[in-house]
């Protein structure tokens, strides 16, 4: 039964200047997000630099964050692997650790065809007992998943209940998926919320942005859900320059962390290579973008 809905940020992973995990900042960030009214929290997605974490660090972070949340909101854990057996093992481990749902990319190393993708997700679905979100992100994986395939998985595989659509243009694909799935799968948007309003208009159940603009996204979500689409669009436009800036491939995570550090939420904006780091000009640019946003729901 589908229960995820709303603003579900990908939690940025916090590091010290030396590159080691900063668990104190991580706990502050989680509590900050909960205080801003997010509807769930997701771990180890692209904005969380999951690709740069060691297995032991993933385990440590997952345990610490799930303890910190203490059931206040659902936790979605990004699992999956280039090999199906490994993906099953990682997904089972996340379930045992307390994940409420899984977000899974298709295997991308060998560029599987549609039947291989179906087999991969079927094997994971058969191995776990919690909902699975299919992450459709071809800009990152170079693996295409037509809406018909995702809809089929929603109809035929027990635990496939959600899809995060990041295949541009996202809004038309959400229309296709909602129509073809006929209620068997709920669509979410990604790409840092760049097309939030258009996706909501077409039946999206929410978005999964980074961690730094969640107060704004929650406010926009609330306006839209209360039927004030005009106000939601106006509020979205105020934040759009910064949202757009964060969509730059490889650079958005650094922007998010600098924004969170500027708010005093995390101690350090350190990212791990190959994630790119903002240069001095970029830091000045995002400072100017923040200063141009005036809001009565919190600073950015």
- Determine contact, residues 133/104, Cβ cutoff 8 Å: yes
- Sequence-distant (≥ 6) Cβ neighbours of residue 135 within 8 angstroms: 45, 78, 80, 103, 104, 105, 106, 163, 164, 166, 190
Q: What is the set of active-site residues?
A: 164
Both tokens assigned to 95: 């379930």
Among 37, 41, 8, 11, which residue's Cα sits nearest to residue 23? 11
Among 246, 274, 171, 259, which residue's Cα sits nearest to residue 215? 259
Cβ-based neighbour number of residue 171 at 10 Å: 20
Structure letter (DSSP) for residue 266: S
């Amino acid at each position: 039964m589908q229960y995820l809905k709303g603003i579900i940020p990908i939690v940025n992973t916090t590091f010290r200047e030396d590159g080691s995990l900063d668990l104190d900042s991580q706990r502050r960030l989680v509590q900050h997000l909960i205080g801003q009214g997010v509807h769930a929290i997701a771990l180890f997605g692209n904005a969380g630099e999951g690709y740069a974490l060691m297995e032991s660090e993933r385990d440590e972070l997952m345990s610490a964050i799930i303890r910190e949340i203490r059931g206040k909101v659902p936790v979605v854990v990004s699992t999956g692997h280039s090999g199906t057996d490994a993906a099953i093992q990682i997904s089972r481990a996340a379930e045992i650790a307390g994940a409420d749902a899984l977000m899974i990319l298709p295997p991308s190393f060998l560029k599987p065809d549609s039947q291989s993708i179906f087999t991969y997700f079927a094997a994971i679905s058969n191995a776990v007992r919690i909902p699975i979100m299919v992450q459709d992100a071809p800009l990152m994986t170079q693996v295409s998943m037509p809406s018909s395939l995702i809809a089929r998985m929603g109809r035929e595989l027990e635990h496939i209940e959600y899809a995060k659509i990041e295949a541009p243009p996202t809004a038309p694909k959400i229309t296709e998926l909602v129509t073809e799935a006929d209620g068997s799968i709920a669509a979410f948007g990604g790409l840092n919320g760049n097309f939030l309003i258009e996706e909501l208009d077409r039946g999206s159940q929410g978005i999964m942005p980074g961690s730094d603009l969640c107060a704004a996204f929650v406010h926009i979500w609330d306006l839209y859900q209360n039927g004030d689409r005009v106000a939601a669009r106006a509020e979205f436009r105020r934040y759009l320059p910064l949202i757009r800036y964060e969509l730059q491939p490889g650079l958005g995570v650094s922007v998010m962390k600098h924004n969170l550090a500027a708010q005093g939420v995390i101690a350090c904006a350190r990212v791990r290579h190959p994630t790119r780091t903002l240069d001095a000009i970029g830091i000045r640019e995002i400072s100017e973008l923040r200063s141009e946003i005036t809001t009565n729901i919190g600073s950015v």
